């Protein structure tokens, strides 16, 4: 009997990234957008359950409190535990892992994502978007050997023969390897079609995403300094709109800007009633879904590498496309717009 998979991620786009590879192979996948949504997700009957803890930013003390509750909710639910971490090792990885896995728990840790050009060599993350190698072990918080990984085959060789006793710690690359192991024969599924109207909301200011926006030619871009767009543009018949968060005249915290941006995008969503919502940046995506009252997502798969697609599990007619700020080729948004417009 196939074991259930429990994925614990510190942001929403990470939860969706790691879960999407299972959905693409035919697994039923449910994502809890917040820790409070986890019990409902666990009761859904899905084969893969992911939860976004929202703890990458903020204090370590808060991360510990949140992960302690997540560990409590997972207690008694048998399965494979996958701690999804940022492939550039951001966040409170060691502190969170300590709440999920006792010190003597066997671990396999590797944050490489070979298909996105991000590797592990000599115990450090290197490759696309990584100017200098980042040692992995210090972020894990315990002594661990990190094997080299240039390919998916390298990652596959690192999985233990018996799953369930070892906690897996990694990013979308290791998640894909686990999905291939558990679902070796993917069920055929129809490709997801994106529909207009569409709202593209970009809260990330990562240079990778900035380059993707710059590559767009025919899509007007609305700028929201510190997340605010006041006044909102008048409703139009345009089927596609893009709003991006930019730096404002007075610096504010990321949490304040994210909350303001979520409010702005929620107002635009209410005006446009889009069929497709693209959200870039984990914190912004989580805040926006909370404002929209969406706590559960059914993951359908990936549109592009690192670009998951989901639907609201509460019956709303909304397709959600997400992307982490630091992922994707320069033409990622160009390809997404072409999917929307059928060009």
Give the pLDDT confidence of 133-192 residue by residue, as tens digits.
999 999 999 889 999 999 999 999 999 998 988 999 999 999 999 999 999 987 766 677
| 193 within a domain of the structure (yes/no) | no
Q: Are residues 151 and 230 in the same domain?
A: no
Handedness of CA 304, 331, 264, 52 (dihedral sign): positive
Q: Are residues 258 and 334 in the same domain?
A: yes
Q: Are residues 295 and 210 in the same domain?
A: yes
Q: Are residues 238 and 329 in the same domain?
A: yes
pLDDT given at position 237 = 65
Q: Are residues 32 and 176 in the same domain?
A: yes
Q: Are residues 49 and 154 in the same domain?
A: yes
| pLDDT tens digits for range 268-326 | 988 888 999 998 877 778 888 888 888 999 999 888 888 899 998 877 778 999 888 87
Spatial separation of the C-alpha atoms in residues 15 and 168, rounded to whole Å: 14
| 149 within a domain of the structure (yes/no) | yes
| 61 within a domain of the structure (yes/no) | yes
Q: Are residues 220 and 329 in the same domain?
A: yes
Q: Are residues 234 and 335 in the same domain?
A: yes
Q: Are residues 141 and 224 in the same domain?
A: no
Contact present, 122 and 133 (Cβ < 8 Å): yes
Instruction: State the residue range of the domain holding 144.
Output: 5-182
| pLDDT tens digits for range 114-150 | 988 999 999 999 998 899 999 999 999 988 999 999 9
Q: Which of these three, 182, 217, 234, is where a domain ends?
A: 182
Q: Is the pLDDT of residue 12 over 60?
A: yes
Spatial separation of the C-alpha atoms in residues 205 and 60, rounded to whole Å: 23
Q: Are residues 146 and 287 in the same domain?
A: no
pLDDT given at position 33 = 94
Which residues, in sequence order, are bridge partners of residue 170?
A: 84, 110
Contact present, 53 and 69 (Cβ < 8 Å): no
- Number of residues that this document lists for the chain: 343
Total domains in the chain come to 2
Q: Is the pLDDT of residue 1 over 60?
A: no
| 187 within a domain of the structure (yes/no) | no
Give Cα 111 distance to the centre of its chain: 14
Q: Is the pLDDT of residue 225 over 90?
A: yes
210: buried, middle or exposed (CB in 10 Å: 19+, 13-18, 0-12)?
middle
Structural tokens at position 326: 């630091």
Number of DSSP helices (H) and strands (E) in the chain, helices first = 11, 16
Q: Is the pLDDT of residue 332 over 70?
A: yes
What average pLDDT does the structure give for the chain?
A: 90
What's 35's domain CATH number? 3.40.50.10840
pLDDT given at position 111 = 96
Phi/psi at 143 (nearest 5 deg)?
A: -65, 125
Q: Which of these three, 182, 216, 236, is where a domain ends?
A: 182
Which stretches within 131-253 are classed as H helix? 137-140, 152-156, 172-182, 207-214
| pLDDT tens digits for range 56-84 | 988 999 999 999 999 999 998 999 999 99
| 312 within a domain of the structure (yes/no) | yes
pLDDT given at position 313 = 86
Average pLDDT of the segment spanning 32-47? 95
Q: Is the pLDDT of residue 96 over 60?
A: yes
Helix (H) or strand (E) holding 169: strand 167-170
Q: Are residues 23 and 138 in the same domain?
A: yes
Q: Are residues 230 and 337 in the same domain?
A: yes
∠ CA(256), CA(262), CA(263), 5° rounding? Answer: 90
What's 310's domain CATH number? 3.40.980.20
């Amino acid at each position: 009997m196939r074991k259930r998979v429990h994925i614990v991620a510190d942001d929403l786009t990470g939860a969706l990234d790691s879960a999407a590879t299972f959905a693409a192979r035919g697994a039923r996948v449910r994502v809890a957008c917040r820790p409070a949504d986890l019990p409902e997700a666990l009761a859904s009957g899905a084969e893969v359950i992911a939860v976004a803890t929202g703890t990458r930013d903020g204090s370590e003390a808060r991360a510990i409190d949140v992960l302690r509750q997540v560990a409590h909710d997972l207690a008694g639910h048998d399965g494979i535990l996958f701690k999804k971490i940022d492939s550039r090792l951001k966040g409170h990885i060691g502190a969170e892992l300590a709440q999920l896995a006792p010190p003597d728990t066997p671990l396999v840790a590797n944050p490489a994502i070979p298909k996105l050009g991000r590797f592990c060599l000599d115990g450090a993350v290197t490759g696309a978007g990584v100017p200098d190698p980042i040692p992995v072990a210090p972020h894990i918080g315990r002594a661990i050997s990190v094997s080299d990984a240039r390919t998916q085959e390298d990652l596959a060789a690192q999985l233990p023969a018996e799953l369930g006793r070892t906690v897996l710690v990694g990013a979308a690359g290791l998640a894909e390897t686990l999905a291939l192991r558990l679902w070796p024969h993917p069920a055929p599924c129809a490709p997801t079609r994106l529909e207009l109207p569409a709202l593209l909301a970009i809260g990330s200011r990562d240079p990778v995403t900035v380059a993707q926006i710059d590559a767009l030619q025919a899509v007007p871009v609305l700028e929201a300094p510190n997340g605010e767009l006041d006044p909102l543009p008048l409703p139009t018949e345009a089927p596609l709109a893009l709003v991006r968060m930019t730096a404002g005249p007075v610096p504010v915290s990321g949490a304040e800007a994210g909350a303001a941006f979520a409010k702005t995008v929620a107002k635009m969503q209410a005006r446009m009633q889009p069929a497709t919502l693209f959200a870039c940046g984990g914190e912004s995506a989580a805040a926006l879904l909370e404002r929209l009252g969406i706590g559960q997502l059914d993951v359908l798969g990936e549109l592009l590498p690192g670009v998951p697609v989901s639907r609201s599990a509460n019956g709303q007619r909304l397709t959600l496309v997400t992307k982490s700020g630091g992922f994707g080729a320069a033409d990622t948004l160009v390809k997404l717009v072409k999917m929307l417009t059928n060009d």
